[in-house]
A = this chain, B = another copy of it.
Amino acid sequence: MAKEKLSIVKIGGNIIEDDASLSAFLKLFANLKGKKILVHGGGKRATSVASKLGIESKMVNGRRITDAETLEVITMVYGGLVNKNMVAQLQALQVDAIGLTGADINSISSEKRPVKDVDFGFVGDVKKVAHNSIDKLIQANFTPVFCAITHDGNGQLLNTNADTITSQVAVGMSELYDTSIYYCFELNGVLKDINDKNSVVKHIDSKLYSELLEQGIIADGMLPKLENCFDALHHGVKTINMGNTSMLTQENDNFTRITL
C-alpha cells in the first residue's frame, strides 16, 4: 500500500532575517498541501544578539565554535525568538504549528561531537530521530516546526546543523511516510553554470549525478550538499527538491528535483 505523503521543508537564515521574505515564505508553506514539517536554520540574528551581549564568535579554521555562552544565545534566539514568532505567524495562517527542539518529546537525540583536531564545543551529531513520537503530533494534525537544536538525553542541549536535522528527520519519517525534502536556498537550484542563475538542472538521478561528478560540473559548495542528498535517498527519502521558496507553489518548475 502506498504510504501517505509528508513534506519536510527547510529554510535558511537569508529568509529568517528578512521579515518580508519570512512572511511571504510562511504563506507559501501554509498553502502547501498535505502533512508537513518545517525546519529552520540559524542566520546572523544570533551573532548580532551575541555581539550585543559582549560574546565573541569563536572560529577555528573558519568553523564556528559553540561555547556555553554561544549555546545560550542560540537557545534564546532560535529556540525562543525565531521559533515562537514563526509558530505564532503560522497560527495566524491557520497552520496548527508546534515549535520544537530535539529535546521536546525527545524527538532528536544527538551526541556531542568528539574532540579530535578541533573542539567544536556544544555541537551535536544526530543519533536518533523518534519518528513515532513525531508522528503522534502529525497524527493530531499539528505541524512540527524544528529549530536547529538537539539534546544528548542527559540534560544538555546541543547546536546541530539544520540541513542535517532536515535529512535525518526525513529519513526517520520515511519509515511511516513517502517523504519529500524541500531545501529552500538562495539559488534557483543546482546550476550547470554557476554564473548563470537560469542554468538549472531540473532533474538529477544517480546516473546524471555520476556524469556531472565525472565532468566536474558540480561546484565545490554543492558537492557535500548533493552527497548528503543521495545518502538520504539511499535511506528511504523519495524526492529531494532544491531551489528558491517559489518551488513550493505549483506554478514554478524551475528548480532541481533529485531522485535515485
Contact = CB atoms under 8 A, between A and B. Distances in A.
Interface of A: 49, 52-54, 72, 75-81, 83-85, 87-89, 91-92, 96-101, 103-106, 133, 136-137, 140, 142, 149, 151, 153-157
Task: Give the secondary structure class of A's interface.
Answer: helix
A155 B78 contact: no
B88 A96 contact: no
Given A151-B91, A154-B92, A84 B103 contact: yes
B81 A104 contact: no
B96 A105 contact: yes
B84 A157 contact: yes
Given A79-B80, A84-B149, A98-B104, 14 more contacts: A49-B53, A72-B81, A76-B80, A78-B80, A79-B81, A80-B80, A84-B103, A84-B104, A87-B101, A87-B103, A92-B155, A96-B106, A98-B98, A105-B142
